[in-house]
Amino acid sequence: MNDKDYTELSIPKKFTHSIKAYIPHNYDAGLSLVNGTKWCIVDLEEHWDAYTQRGVTFVYLVTDTEKYAIAYSNELQIQIFDQNDVVLSEIPNFPNIEYILLESVKEYKYNKRQL
């Protein structure tokens, strides 16, 4: 995997925990970033394809011990999942990070449409 397979997003310094945020560009990149999660988009490439073809953009948040997925629809509706595929209302220790990353996701979606 190389940096053309994903986009690493900037995380605000206010979060003192070690966390990285990535937008995977393809199934294989996503799998290598968050292998071991219980998400259907990691289990089957067909699920990844079905979501991304509908315009869903995934951001993977990775800490030393936890992994989270934030799904942004074309309408920028947001769903958050922990590594066990449990839907969350927010990510523990990172309040509102899904909204903080929203501008980066909008920019990514805009640039993707321009290609």
Q: What percent of the chain has pLDDT over 70?
A: 94
Are 41 and 51 contacting, i.e. CB atoms less than 8 angstroms apart?
Answer: yes
For residues 66-89, average pLDDT: 95
For 46-57, what is the mean pLDDT? 93
The one-letter code for the residue type at 96 is: N
The confidence score (pLDDT) of residue 81 equals 96
Residues 106 and 76: beta-carbon distance below 8 Å: yes
Tokens in use for 46?
A: 């067909």
Kindly give, in sequence order, each residue whose CB lies less than 8 Å from that of residue 92, ignoring residues fewer than 6 positions away.
none
Neighbours of 94 (CB within 10 A): 21
63 class by beta-carbon count within 10 Å (0-12 exposed, 13-18 middle, 19+ buried): middle
